């Protein structure tokens, strides 16, 4: 029905995993699986501490995360492969989802101890080193002058602004709230598809959209347990 691309926006490992499984796991299935990231983040926050009240504050977000995931699955049903390789690639994507969730919480704790410029440098350097090593192992490193000049292009400048914004949000927003983007982006894409494609409405589409919007909106704007959730990350 819809073609929604996943948006790791996280560790380079996750981005490489998406590229690696592109031919084996359909884009719809990847998008649906990455909608699990908010659930993983909530569980990491809730069970990463021992204080009962703090755990309860984070657990309050588990239901909205599951509601949003359920709504997306109604709109983007998983396309499972019957082959052993297909199941293996799905397992690889699931591992990347868990990695993104863990990294979101860990980076929030880590980067709050740095200024914004230092945080961007830490994230950028770590990803650059990883990608350089990966490329060297696969013999994909090519040193060309055109590659250096391309850094000054408009597209590269947009990427730089995007990195700064992502790191700033990663430092300032609690992980649960920041993870809501894995529901918000598919929601916006689905709404755009409704406007442009004008599909025939069904009960499943309507119910799925409502659940997805409710889950994403609650994760973003619900303030009842925000203070307790932030405390649970300390």
pLDDT tens-digit readout, 24-81: 788 788 888 899 999 999 999 887 654 444 445 677 899 999 999 999 999 887 777 7
**What pLDDT score was predicted for residue 9?**
45
**Most confident option among 10-24, 102-116, 201-215:** 201-215
Backbone φ, ψ for residue 7 (5° rounding): -135, 80
Q: pLDDT tens digit string along 154-169?
A: 766 777 788 888 888 8
Task: Inform me whether the pLDDT recorded for 225 exceeds 60.
Answer: no
Task: Inform me whether the pLDDT recorded for 208 exceeds 90.
Answer: yes
Task: Inform me whether the pLDDT recorded for 198 exceeds 50.
Answer: yes
Q: Which residue is listed with tokens 């809730």? A: 46
The percentage of the chain sitting over the pLDDT mark of 70, rounded to a whole number, equals: 76
Extended strands (E) in the chain: none
The rounded distance, in Å, linking the Cα atoms of 221 and 226 is 9
The rounded distance, in Å, linking the Cα atoms of 232 and 54 is 5
Torsion of CA 211, 213, 234, 111, to 10 degrees: 140
**Residue partners of 56: CB distance under 8 A and separation at least 6:** 225, 228
The rounded distance, in Å, linking the Cα atoms of 128 and 136 is 12
**Residue partners of 80: CB distance under 8 A and separation at least 6:** 29, 86, 87, 90
Give residue limits of the domains in the chain.
12-109+175-231
């Amino acid at each position: 029905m819809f073609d929604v691309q996943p948006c790791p926006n996280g560790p380079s490992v996750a981005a490489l995993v998406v590229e690696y499984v592109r031919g084996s796991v359909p884009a719809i299935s990847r998008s649906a699986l990455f909608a699990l990231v908010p659930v993983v983040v909530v569980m990491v926050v809730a069970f990463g501490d021992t204080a009962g009240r703090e755990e309860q504050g984070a657990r309050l977000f588990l239901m909205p995360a599951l509601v949003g995931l359920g709504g997306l699955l109604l709109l983007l049903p998983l396309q499972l492969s019957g082959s052993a390789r297909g199941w293996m690639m799905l397992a690889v994507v699931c591992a990347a989802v868990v990695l993104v969730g863990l990294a979101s919480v860990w980076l929030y704790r880590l980067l709050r101890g740095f200024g914004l410029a230092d945080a961007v440098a830490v994230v950028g350097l770590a990803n650059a080193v990883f990608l350089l090593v990966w490329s060297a192992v696969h013999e994909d490193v090519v040193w060309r002058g055109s590659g250096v000049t391309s850094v000054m292009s408009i597209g590269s400048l947009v990427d730089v602004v995007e990195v700064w914004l992502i790191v700033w949000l990663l430092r300032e927003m609690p992980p649960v709230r920041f993870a809501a983007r894995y529901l918000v982006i598919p929601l916006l894409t689905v709404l755009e598809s409704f406007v442009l494609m004008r599909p025939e409405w069904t009960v499943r589409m309507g119910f799925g959209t409502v659940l997805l919007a409710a889950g994403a909106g609650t994760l973003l704007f619900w303030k009842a347990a925000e203070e307790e959730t932030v405390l649970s990350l300390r």
